[in-house]
């Protein structure tokens, strides 16, 4: 924690709330590596599938159907609690993270100068990631390997279905105007994610523009809300292994091997997409920075491994900054601006995962997306990725809201939550790689300062 807190200013948000505390945060999350939480998740995945197949009437049928329902009903309780926790803190976590990410750059002068460059870059790379995801999931169609009727029956008691919006009745003019929430509270109650994201972005930009003394109370409130939300997420992650075991046991018991085949194709689709996105990054670094893919990956592999182990870009932020400056030769001012900002609003791997998961679930539940709905899904995913906090497990939180916009039952999350931990680890490694790629690009686009490291990446 920060021992001495100076007068709070907008430009100090990341200084107070990110960089100094992230050293401690890295230590706190180091237990994920030592205790191997991901191993617990994998073990519980295997146990859940094994229990489900053992009690399933389509599997080993070791017990009667009534007993199987009773067993899985109690086993799934931690899963329901897990889903309730992440849904409860979804909105405050997203809004506070976006506000702090935009208003909390360490160097506000540089924020104003770089805004016209970094904003289009982040949006551009996120768009590339989402398009990769859409093309892959549309081509592979992993949802076709699961019987939608069986799945709907299996998940009927998890959460009520969400009625999709009739987007065909809205004109383009209405949709553009609808991006601005006339009533933010109403948008929050309706879980209109895109409106919430727009409201948070405008709030963050406005806070940068007003007097620091007037901005301080709201920034402190946002900081507290984010910390509170992340604490609840950390509580949820404690029961994540049991949640995975129960959810997979129930789903496997009710839908059988078909669900397992479908999930393997789904996981493969996401990992393939992340691999293609990594290829895009190294290509950008080679073209812009003149660095070979092997050299770039060898210099950032420590950051990738730690990010993979902790599933948190925030936890590895100090190492990311150090790697950018010392191993990639990035200007100090650029690294200290891009990495903290990117850890909050540059989540390409998460965006790719979310759009694949969303389209996968529409395939599973038989929801047909029109061209307009698909474009809205892409726009919502791009916007939502800006608010994806850089801590373990919250990618699934953002996905919950995206699903409500396309008419997919919220209970669909129960199908993918079992494999989310592995995918969370993988996409976090890609996210931090994207931040370091952005450092290389911005270092080339901006003139160096006299007190910065010269030469960039060699």
The C-alpha atoms of residue 100 and residue 93 are separated, in whole angstroms, by 11
- Average pLDDT of span 206-222: 85
In whole angstroms, give the CA distance from residue 80 to residue 411.
10
Asked if pLDDT for residue 150 goes beyond 80, the answer is no
The listed range with the strongest mean pLDDT (297-301, 318-322, 402-406) is 297-301
With CA atoms as reference, report the closest residue to 196 among 355, 432, 421, 397.
397
Say yes or no to pLDDT of 444 above 80: yes
Give 450's pLDDT tier (boundaries 50, 70, 90). Answer: very low
> How large is the average pLDDT for residues 140-157?
67
**At residue 153, does pLDDT exceed 80?**
no
Q: Kindly indicate the confidence band of residue 33, based on its pLDDT and cuts at 50, 70 and 90.
A: very low
Give tens-digit pLDDT for 244-287. 788 878 877 876 665 566 678 898 999 999 999 999 999 999 99
The per-residue pLDDT for range 381-399, each reduced to its tens digit, is 777 776 555 555 556 666 7
Max CA pair span of the chain: 75
Domains and CATH numbers, the chain: 17-445 (1.10.3860)
pLDDT at position 7 over 60: no
Nearest alpha-carbon partner for 237 in 47, 417, 435: 417
Please state the three-class secondary structure of 213-268 as a single string. Answer: HHHHHHHHHHHHHHHHHHHHHHHHHHCHHHHHHHHHHHHHHHHCHHHHHHHHHHHH
Nearest to 235 by CA among 112, 391, 428, 117: 391
Instruction: Please tell me the distance from the alpha carbon of residue 20 to that of residue 3, in angstroms, as a whole number.
Output: 10
Run of H or E including 74: helix 65-75
For the ranges 25-29, 78-82, 120-124, 429-433, the lowest mean pLDDT is seen at 25-29
């Amino acid at each position: 924690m920060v021992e001495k807190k100076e007068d709070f200013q907008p430009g100090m948000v990341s200084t107070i709330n990110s960089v100094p505390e992230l050293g401690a945060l890295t230590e706190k999350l180091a237990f994920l590596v030592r205790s191997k939480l991901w191993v617990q998740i994998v073990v519980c995945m295997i146990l859940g599938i094994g229990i489900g197949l053992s009690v399933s009437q389509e599997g080993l049928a070791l017990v009667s159907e009534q007993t199987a329902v009773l067993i899985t009903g109690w086993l799934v309780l931690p899963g329901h609690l897990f889903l309730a926790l992440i849904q409860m803190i979804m909105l405050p976590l997203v809004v506070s993270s976006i506000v702090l990410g935009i208003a909390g750059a360490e160097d506000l002068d540089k924020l104003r100068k770089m805004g016209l460059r970094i904003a289009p870059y982040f949006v551009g790379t996120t768009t590339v990631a989402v398009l990769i995801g859409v093309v892959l999931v549309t081509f592979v169609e992993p949802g076709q390997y699961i019987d939608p009727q069986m799945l709907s029956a299996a998940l009927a008691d998890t959460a009520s279905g969400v009625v999709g919006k009739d987007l065909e009745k809205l004109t383009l003019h209405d949709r553009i105007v609808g991006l601005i929430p006339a009533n933010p509270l109403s948008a929050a109650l309706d879980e209109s994610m895109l409106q919430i994201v727009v409201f948070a972005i405008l709030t963050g930009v406005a806070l940068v523009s007003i007097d620091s003394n007037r901005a301080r109370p709201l920034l402190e409130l946002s900081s507290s809300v984010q910390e509170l939300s992340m604490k609840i997420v950390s509580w949820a992650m404690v029961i994540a292994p049991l949640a995975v075991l129960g959810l997979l046991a129930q789903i496997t018991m009710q839908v059988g091997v078909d669900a397992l085949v479908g999930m393997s194709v789904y996981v493969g689709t996401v990992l393939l997409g992340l691999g293609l996105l990594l290829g895009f990054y190294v290509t950008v670094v080679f073209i812009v920075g003149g660095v070979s893919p092997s050299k770039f990956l060898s210099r950032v592999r420590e950051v990738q491994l730690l990010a993979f182990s902790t599933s948190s870009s925030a936890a590895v932020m100090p190492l990311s900054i150090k790697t950018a400056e010392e191993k990639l030769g990035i200007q100090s001012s650029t690294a200290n601006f891009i990495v903290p900002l990117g850890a909050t609003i540059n989540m390409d791997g998460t965006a790719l995962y979310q759009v694949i998961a969303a389209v996968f679930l529409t395939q599973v539940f038989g929801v047909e997306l029109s061209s307009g709905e698909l474009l809205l899904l892409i726009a919502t995913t791009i916007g939502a990725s800006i608010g994806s906090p850089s801590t373990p497990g919250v990618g699934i939180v953002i996905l919950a809201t995206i699903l409500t916009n396309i008419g997919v039952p919220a209970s669909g999350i129960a199908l993918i939550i079992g494999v989310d931990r592995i995918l969370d680890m993988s996409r976090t490694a890609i996210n931090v790689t994207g931040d370091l790629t952005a450092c290389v690009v911005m270092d080339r686009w901006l003139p160096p300062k006299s007190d910065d490291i010269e030469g960039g990446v060699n």
